[in-house]
Structure 1
Amino acid sequence: MSAPEAPLIVLRGITKTYGQGPAAFQALQGVDLEIAAGEFVAVMGPSGSGKSTAMNLLGCLDTPSEGEYLFRGIHVERLDRNQRALLRRTCLGFVFQGFNLLARTSAQENVELPLLYRGEPAEQRHASARAALAKVGLDGWEDHTPAELSGGQQQRVAIARAIVTSPLVLLADEPTGNLDSKRSHEIMELLAALNREQGITVIMVTHEPDMAAYARRIVHFVDGQVAQDKLNGHAKESAPCC
């Protein structure tokens, strides 16, 4: 009988303190969390609960004050700045509330950016970007700029840019925050389908219960700690991806 597979992500006793002395603020207070490969996890909590700080740590955009962060068994808290940047480029994809697209650049060129930073040849970049756009339902929209796309389409471009490098983990920070209800559910169905069909681990920060309902696990932060961690046995079903 084979041993159970180790979690993809492990946080042990993670604290994060900003400032010093009387002005010090402890954003995270001894967080323990494990996430397996292929999970879809929604992270929720009120403003100031620590959920965004936890997301920044998971995305290697910040480092913990104390504790251990293991990614595939690697101690991320021991890595230097360049090593963390390499981990971000090779294993992580990011989706933000504000899309963060270059305004005068086509959808395809926006999606190619991570590959450009990697130094991949132009022909390979073009093919990978077109494939990523097709995965998010934007086949035929490659030459359109953000101004020519709806909010939902812009977020799809942002998701294509996040998955073009074939990341192990997709980190989504309020991905539907700038969208109306219909577009929000379209984006959530897309994320759920990518998780199910592509096997991408999705970790999403949201304050909206309707969006968290798509996740198969919901983690609630309160006052810098994990207050509740539960499976969602009624996760919304999504349509086949694109």
Structure 2
Amino acid sequence: MAPAVPRNPLIEFRAVSKVYGSGEAEVRALAGVNLAVEHGEFVAIMGPSGSGKSTAMNILGCLDVPSSGEYLFEGVPTSGLSRDERTILRRHMLGFVFQGFNLLARTTAIENVALPLIYRGMPEDERQRRAMRALDQVGLADRAHHTSAELSGGQQQRVAIARAIVTDPVVLLADEPTGNLDTRISREIMAIIGGLNRDRGLTVIMVTHEDDIAAYARRLIRFVDGKIASDSQQEPAGVL
């Protein structure tokens, strides 16, 4: 039997730095960060304001590029990708959930969820089928034809999660996904995200300021002054 071929990390930072401005106005948001995330991990990123966590998240989402160092996705250096190729990577491999739900207010839940599929040129009947499946996965199929204005904050975030997973991404990037929600609804949202990681093997990378939300992850990374100050495994909360 041939030996198994080692698998590349899903995501890897190699000495990634990010500098904004120049001279006296220079700000070093990231300072030589090395990081690897494997397939199927659930990682929480924490740190004070200005620690570099949001900059790292923007680079992970191909919304920004390093000033130096290399970001590899499944072993492929992203520095060699054109802007259009980075857009394709975002569209096909990444799902995004933000603190603000970013839904179209006068549009139904199913139409909001189906929106990313339009950019793929997918036929309407297939878009509708996939969007309904995604809504069902977040427990909101019965609200598919309600507009965002008719949904609670927790329901809107469920729609946002459904929109993020409707394309079957490899990675879910969640930036303060419970920041606008109360404690009870936050737990419900985290149970959904944790379930996507546990049951579907979806890789989750989440930025949060809240210790009780970070506790749902299996790995906790803390940023300080543009560097990783700690990186540890933990037993996740909410595990049945």
Q: With the length of structure 2 as denominator, give the TM-score of the two structures.
A: 0.97
**Map 1:103-142 → 2, pairs under 5 A:** 103-142=105-144
**Map 1:89-104 → 2, pairs under 5 A:** 89-104=91-106
The AA in structure 2 aligned to 1:37 is: H
SS in 1 for 2:9: coil
Indicate the residue corresponding to 1:168 in structure 2: 170
Given that residues 50 and 222 in structure 1 are in contact (C-alpha distance below 8 angstroms), is that contact kept between their aligned partners in structure 2?
A: yes
CA deviations on 1:95-134 (whole Å, 9 max, x unpaired) are: 0000000000000000000001111000000000000000
Indicate the residue corresponding to 2:53 in structure 1: 51
1:235 correspondence with 2:236: yes
Gaps of 5+ in 2: none
Post-superposition shift, 1:210? Answer: 0.0
Gaps of 5+ in 1: none
CA deviations on 1:130-180 (whole Å, 9 max, x unpaired) are: 000000000111101111111111000000000000000000000000000
Runs of 4 or more, structure 1, over 4 Å off, are none
Question: How many angstroms apart in 2 are the aligned matches of 1:106 and 1:139?
Answer: 12
CA deviations on 1:23-64 (whole Å, 9 max, x unpaired) are: 111100000000000000000000000000000000000000
SS in 1 for 2:112: helix
Compute the RMSD of aligned alpha carbons.
Answer: 0.9
Given that residues 190 and 238 in structure 1 are in contact (C-alpha distance below 8 angstroms), is that contact kept between their aligned partners in structure 2?
A: no
Question: How many angstroms apart in 2 are the aligned matches of 1:228 and 1:36?
Answer: 17
Question: How many angstroms apart in 2 are the aligned matches of 1:46 and 1:221?
Answer: 8
The count of residues paired between Structure 1 and Structure 2 equals 238
1:29 correspondence with 2:31: yes
Post-superposition shift, 1:21? Answer: 1.7
The AA in structure 1 aligned to 2:136 is: A
Indicate the residue corresponding to 2:152 in structure 1: 150
Question: How many angstroms apart in 2 are the aligned matches of 1:134 and 1:4?
Answer: 36
Q: With the length of structure 1 as denominator, give the TM-score of the two structures.
A: 0.96
Structure 2 residue corresponding to 1:85, chosen from 80, 83, 87 = 87
**Map 1:192-203 → 2, pairs under 5 A:** 192-203=194-205
Indicate the residue corresponding to 1:41 in structure 2: 43
Question: How many angstroms apart in 1 are the aligned matches of 2:183 and 2:238?
Answer: 17
Structure 1 residue corresponding to 2:21, chosen from 19, 22, 27 = 19
Given that residues 155 and 187 in structure 1 are in contact (C-alpha distance below 8 angstroms), is that contact kept between their aligned partners in structure 2?
A: yes
Question: How many angstroms apart in 2 are the aligned matches of 1:238 and 1:79?
Answer: 39
Question: How many angstroms apart in 1 are the aligned matches of 2:136 and 2:77?
Answer: 36
SS in 1 for 2:96: strand
The AA in structure 2 aligned to 1:218 is: L
Question: How many angstroms apart in 1 are the aligned matches of 2:148 and 2:236?
Answer: 32
Indicate the residue corresponding to 2:161 in structure 1: 159
Given that residues 7 and 72 in structure 1 are in contact (C-alpha distance below 8 angstroms), is that contact kept between their aligned partners in structure 2?
A: yes
The AA in structure 1 aligned to 2:167 is: T
Question: How many angstroms apart in 1 are the aligned matches of 2:214 and 2:238?
Answer: 12
Post-superposition shift, 1:236? Answer: 1.1
